[in-house]
Structure 1
């Protein structure tokens, strides 16, 4: 496994996903506040949900990165890298809107307590946090800590995979926002 390639691929995915999320903040009020016919979230609510989900995932990513860096002293990083294979296919469904049933925790549901400017600033900070964790664990250390991810039965995943999950989650909701926009055009 080329761990440096994996880290770069995750950085690239993060950058593309977060840049695309950021573009949604510039949409007109009609697009941002459109309530889809199926009763789903507005774009503004989706953006808030992305922030909230990132917030809670980043708590786990921070704990995981700290533990991974501590584990670096006691575990054989080279052996972990050698024996690691990234099951990208297992993760891809996370980025597909509607690909599986997932009941999100209540604390990740948008409450409308933040304005768009705040949400945009917070998501930008979250993006930079992710990049900082990848830079901190630039030699493969993120493999040295695994935490259980129950979504779609992913099981125990390492810190890099958690960051990739966060990026895929944003991608999932980009598709949802695009669907909202398409519905406006059709109606």
Structure 2
């Protein structure tokens, strides 16, 4: 099975989701301390050249690969990847399940501003504190999103490609 967490930039909520999924963060809905947020691999590290790239984060305890992708505003990226996946699965008779999970619904406005200042304007002194504040606001939602993603993947035995648009997890 392959998990792909996706959102606009692919470097904040997706990085946190991958870290939760891989058990690199505490497995609870508690607020994370600032240093844990800032030490998440790829958190606030990706740049414009990384948009559209699948970033490998590791394998989970069941041997499933975990990736992230920043898709910008383009809502067609994930459906296109689904169609490509189905084509390749059919052509090469390979049927590994792939789950695309959208982390965008978890993004609070303060994180959006933080990303804009830090990644867009290169003003980390403004952006990073906002990103950390935003991450603290949404880490419980991201944790629940990851848990739901894993559960849907286990429960969906016949679908080869699953797209989860998700919602706020409160």
Q: Tell me the TM-score normalised to structure 1 length.
A: 0.29
Point out the structure with the larger helix share.
1
Greater RCO, 1 or 2 (C-alpha within 8 Å, sep 6+): 1
Q: Tell me the TM-score normalised to structure 2 length.
A: 0.31
Q: Which has the larger radius of gyration?
A: 1
Point out the structure with the larger strand share.
2
